[in-house]
């Protein structure tokens, strides 16, 4: 885990311990409200900050705004009704942050897998000039050139072994745990590691067309290109999120007004505002919006080490 993930996990544990302790210890009045607010800020201050920035930047309708409105509203209702039940607001924020932590952990793990894959990229190629080996950029080596790969070095380009024999570590490319033996006349792919003998290889492809280059290109581009599912979810969220917010506003205002103006009943503002806030929380599309890109990214990370 990185520092950010450790910090978030620490906040989750502290908030969970505090909310359990507050339910076991008898605290009343202002002291209870202050302690619950402290717990709420520990677990949710970053969400409130993001929601505030979204409002300032005129990008209001996102999951941070929904979480902020729903949880603050739950606090307001508890204060208004004098029930002293602030658990719901903190619990909603706590469960949301737990989900965010798992998301961050999954993405971080995938990034490490992809970063580890980047290590197969060769830094240089050895070309023999006037009896001496000189290191050159693999991009500068043409087809049918003769390169020398010493023990412990990465094979920089695809080719055919013309001299020598050795064992190759191909686990980063093929997933094979056992070394692969090669000898004169065998084809060899770039990205594997030469373990024992010195090999002379006649290249059959330029670096841009080599196996390692193609693998790196696929991994790098796969995380930047959006699939049809991701594009659909992005468009869906832009319509769905404001619809949920306006729907919750209508749910909070219209039924009490109908009760008061048309039915001659006492308007139950508290009941309908509470239902509107509940509707906001259960309708929050963050899980749906996050799930598809997260699953794609996690899949890329997993596939990169297969």
pLDDT at 68: 84
Residue percentage of the chain with pLDDT more than 90: 27
Query: Where in the chain are the domains?
Result: 3-117+223-304, 125-221
pLDDT at 255: 93
State the Cα–Cα distance between residues 261 and 221, nearest whole angstrom: 59
Give residue 5's pLDDT band: very low, low, confident or very high (50, 70, 90).
confident
State the Cα–Cα distance between residues 192 and 121, nearest whole angstrom: 10
How much is the average pLDDT of 135-149?
90
Tell me which residue of 71, 100, 97, 83 sits closest to 15, measured CA to CA: 97
Residue with tokens 């003769």: 146
pLDDT at 303: 57
- The winner for highest mean pLDDT among 26-30, 165-169, 293-297 is 165-169
pLDDT at 148: 93
Tell me which residue of 210, 195, 211 sits closest to 149, measured CA to CA: 195
pLDDT at 224: 56
Q: What is the mean pLDDT of the chain?
A: 81
Which stretch of 29-38, 77-86, 245-254 has the lowest confidence by average pLDDT? Answer: 77-86
pLDDT in tens, 67-114: 888 788 778 878 877 777 888 888 888 888 887 787 777 766 666 665
State the Cα–Cα distance between residues 24 and 15, nearest whole angstrom: 14
Q: Which CATH number fits domain 125-221: 2.70.150.10, 1.10.150.120, 3.40.50.1220, 3.40.710.10?
A: 2.70.150.10
pLDDT in tens, 180-224: 899 999 999 888 889 989 999 999 998 888 887 787 776 656 555
Q: Is 200 helix (H, G, I), strand (E, B) or coil?
A: strand
State the Cα–Cα distance between residues 154 and 197, nearest whole angstrom: 13
| Cross-strand pairs, 167 | 181
């Amino acid at each position: 885990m990185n520092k950010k993930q450790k910090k978030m996990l620490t906040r989750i544990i502290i908030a969970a311990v505090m909310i359990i302790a507050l339910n076991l210890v008898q605290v009343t009045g202002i002291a209870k409200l202050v302690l619950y607010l402290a717990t709420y800020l520990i677990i949710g201050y970053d969400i409130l900050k993001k929601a505030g920035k979204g409002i300032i930047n005129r990008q209001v309708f996102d999951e941070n705004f929904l979480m902020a409105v729903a949880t603050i509203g739950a606090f307001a209702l508890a204060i208004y009704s004098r029930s002293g039940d602030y658990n719901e607001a903190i619990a909603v924020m706590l469960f949301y942050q737990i989900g965010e932590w798992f998301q961050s952990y999954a993405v971080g793990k995938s990034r490490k897998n992809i970063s580890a894959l980047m290590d197969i990229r060769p830094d240089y190629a050895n070309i023999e000039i006037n009896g001496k080996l000189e290191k050159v950029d693999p991009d500068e080596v043409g087809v049918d050139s003769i390169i020398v790969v010493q023990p412990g070095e990465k094979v920089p380009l695809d080719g055919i072994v013309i001299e020598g024999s050795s064992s190759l570590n191909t686990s980063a490319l093929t997933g094979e745990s056992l070394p692969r033996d090669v000898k004169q006349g065998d084809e060899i792919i770039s990205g594997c590691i030469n373990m024992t003998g010195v090999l002379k290889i006649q290249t059959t492809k330029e670096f841009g067309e080599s196996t390692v280059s193609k693998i790196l290109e696929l991994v790098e581009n796969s995380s930047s290109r959006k699939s049809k599912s991701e594009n659909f979810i992005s468009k869906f969220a832009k319509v769905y999120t404001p619809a949920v917010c306006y729907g919750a506003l209508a749910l909070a205002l219209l039924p009490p007004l109908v009760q008061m103006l048309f039915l001659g009943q006492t308007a139950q503002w508290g009941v309908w505002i509470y239902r509107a806030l509940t509707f906001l929380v259960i309708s929050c599309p963050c899980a749906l919006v996050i799930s598809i890109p997260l699953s794609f990214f996690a899949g890329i990370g997993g596939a990169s080490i297969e």
